[in-house]
Structure 1
Amino acid sequence: MRFDVITLFEPMFAAVTENGITSRAMQRGLWSLYTWNPREETEDNHRTVDDRPFGGGPGMVMMADPLARTVRRIRRSGNVGRVVSFAPNGTRLTDETVRRWVAEDRDMVLICGRYEGIDQRFLDNYVDETVSIGDFVLSGGELAAMVLIDAVVRQLPGAIKELSTLDESFSTGLLDAPHYTRPEVWEGQAVPEVLLSGHHANIAKWTREQALELTLRTRADLIEKAKASGKLSETDRLWLKKHGYPV
């Protein structure tokens, strides 16, 4: 999969190209990244990419033309995939969306806005989807773009062990259960005995119940989604009913 990122701060993306799972996946040829600075598509001496907003207001707005020229240049280079921008008013990025994108196997062009935003005419004519990674404001789209890249790349076949992605948070419809490792007792706290028993059925039962309890306590909305998508077993429903949750 190929990502082309339009950004004023290209060095930031070393975070995903030089570290961790995404770096190893790039070395294996599973994905590629190209960064493009819209200042290279300007014609004035100051390489201006922003201007004051019509109608007044604080801050500056990224101009449509340098961004549009950059997208057209990316298209000519071979990426004809989905164009995504980032803003608080976008669609919430979810595990379901990430998995859909991976299944579709389309290249992506990511637009990293800065300042107060991007000229709406560019968004209307060049952007396919606007994404939000949460109800908060960032200084620019670079961090959001790296979140998206990391979420997508780790799902690519061969990026990590398949079982690592099959049982993690959201993939089962629930949050992941707690994890423990050595030593067996740390600062007076022991690992739950069931995890030391070697009884796989009991461990699986404990793990599922822990996931149900954590999800119910912190993200009850996911219980409803799991129920609607058929990801709750009859055993899950009985556990939830026992703990006062209507199913």
Structure 2
Amino acid sequence: MKINFLTLFPNYFEIFKQESIIAKAIEKGIIEINIVDIRDFSKNKHKKVDDQIYGGGHGMLLQIEPIDLALKTVGGKKIIMSPQGSVFTQKKARELSNEKEITIIAGRYEGFDERIIDYLIDEEISIGDYVLTGGELPAMIIADSIIRLVKGVIKEESHLNDSFENDLLDYPQYTRPRDYKGMLVPEVLFSGHHKKIEEWKKEKQLEKTKKNRPDILERIKNAK
């Protein structure tokens, strides 16, 4: 899988490429990361890529031309990071993990000339209902979420029971010591009774989802 990042700040992505699971996936040839500097496609002598907003408004907008020219050098599904986009989910991560190539555009300033969204990209995605200084962190977040699902990056069983994979949050998990200052690991996990352990996990998933994300249970209920 190839992931292209279009950005005004290429250095943001260097550490992302060089550490942990992502670096190993690149070394194995499973993942290719391509970082494209949008400023390289500016026809302005000062490499300017933003301008004032027609009709008035605070801040500056990213212009359509440099992004249009940059997009002509890459392929695959084209995604723009924006607080106005559809909220990213595990379901969307799994869908995108099946693509051979995707391009993620990280915004800055007050956002994008709307024609970029209307004519040049396939999807507008948000990581949540809040605003950051730029789209680089959101771009890396969704890329990380997608990459770990690509076959061969991590063992499949490592993510089959992740939160949201079965529409519920993950169950509690424990490791040594069994007793830490009186804080005990649940006895059922030492029972050797696989059916009871699975029942306990399911019960705890429901409990945690009800406590932390009741909206998920409400959505499941309404979908029936």
1:173 paired residue number: 167
**Aligned counterpart, 2:142:** 148
Do residues 214 (structure 1) and 200 (structure 2) align?
no
Q: Which runs of 5+ in 2 are unaligned?
A: none
Structure 1 distance, partners of 2:46, 2:132, is 26
The residue matched to 1:3 in structure 2 has which SS? Answer: strand
Matches within 5 A, 1:1-247: 1-74=1-74, 79=75, 81-103=76-98, 105-226=99-220
Quote the Cα distance in structure 1 between the aligned partners of 2:197 and 2:28: 35
Structure 2 distance, partners of 1:44, 1:98, is 37
Which residue identity lines up with residue 37 of structure 1 in the other structure? D
CA distance, structure 1, for counterparts of residue 32 and residue 160 of structure 2:
24
Deviation of 1:188 after TM superposition, in Å, equals 2.3
Instruction: Decide whether aligned partners of structure 1 residues 199 and 159 sit closer, same or farther in structure 2, where only a CA change above 3 A counts.
Output: same
For the residue of structure 1 that corresponds to 2:207, the secondary structure is helix
CA 1:229–1:160: 2 relative to 1, 3 Å: farther
Deviation, structure 1 residue 45? 2.0
Cα deviation, 1:20-40, whole Å, max 9, x if unaligned, reads: 222211211111111111111
Q: CA RMSD in A?
A: 1.5
CA contact (8 A) 1:10 1:35 kept: yes
Contact 1:114-1:141 within 8 A present in 2 as well: yes
Q: Quick one: distance in 2 between partners of 1:47 and 1:90?
A: 28
1-structure distance, mates of 2:96, 2:42: 32
Question: SS at 1:109's partner residue?
Answer: strand
Q: Distance in 2 between matches of 1:95 and 1:217?
A: 20
If the length of structure 2 is used for normalisation, what is the TM-score? 0.94
Structure 1 residues 166-201: Cα deviation after superposition (integer angstroms, max 9, x where no partner): 111111211001111111112320111111222222
Alpha-carbon distance in 2 for matches of 1:93, 1:8: 22
Equivalent-residue separation in structure 2 for 1:24 and 1:72 (angstroms): 29
The number of residues matched between the two structures is 224
Identity between Structure 1 and Structure 2 (%): 38
Q: Secondary structure at the match of 2:73?
A: helix
Q: Deviations over 1:74-127 (max 9, x none)?
A: 2xxxx2x11100111100101111111223x23111111100011111221101
Q: How much has 1:52 moved relative to structure 2?
A: 1.2
CA distance in 2, matches of 1:20, 1:225: 35
Structure 1 unaligned segments of length 5 or more: list them.
Answer: 231-247
